[in-house]
Amino acid sequence: MTKAPTPQRGPDRQAALAQYRRRAGVYDLELALFEPIRRQAVARLGLKRGDVVLDVGCGTGLSLGLLRQGIGAKGRIIGIEQSPEMLERARQRVAQNGWDRTTLLCSPVETARIPRIADAALFHFTHDILQRPEAVANVMRHLKPGARVVACGLQWAPAWAMPANLVVLAAALRSVTSLEGLRKPWSAMAGYLGALEVETSWGGGVYQASGQVKAGD
């Protein structure tokens, strides 16, 4: 009798690379619906002129323009993305807009060689990354005490909100490789931060979690 295969647990990097290779050409259109969430998340960072900010899982660079507005010409953005196809589009965006002082790293977040200690970090719809404690730890090691961190993305709505959860499931099946952690996607980063603020929208199916890095972490 053949033993059934063990279900995949946790994020699957190879599946994610294949997933975003397929999506790279349409990703910007797919994310257009969530643009208000992106704007709110960047605003929550409270960026100042000259800040260094990490764009974790930067994808095609959709957040770069908003981040640049916050930090000004003397600030610096470090984007991290493991998908070469997605990052190539981010590079094109940087070149087209003449955004200097922008460093793009093609690497899994947990092994990324982040060259600066940053003032802020954005995790925009990066569920798989947030479910890798070693990835979160690498980011947090490169943030100053008091640095502002904002994460946003999909989460399970309350059990009674079936329509919202059907939307979350459909979106998650296209954008993540593991449904684990969707109850509280921000859990791995919570221990590094002080008071954590979590707000929800879209019937509870989208969250924004924000806080500041604790002194000593």
- Per-residue pLDDT of 158-179, as tens digits, reads 989 999 999 999 999 999 999 9
- Per-residue pLDDT of 13-23, as tens digits, reads 999 999 999 99
Tokens of 35: 């643009």
CA distances from 183 to 3, 131, 140, 154 (A): 30, 12, 22, 9
- Superfamily classification of domain 13-211: Vaccinia Virus protein VP39 (3.40.50.150)
The ranges assigned to domains in the chain are 13-211
pTM for the model stands at 0.93
Cα 82 versus chain centre, distance: 12
- Per-residue pLDDT of 43-91, as tens digits, reads 999 999 999 999 999 999 999 999 999 999 999 999 999 999 999 999 9
Per-position DSSP letters for 60-116, written without gaps between them: TTTTHHHHHHHH-TT-EEEEEES-HHHHHHHHHHHHHHT--SEEEEES-GGG----S
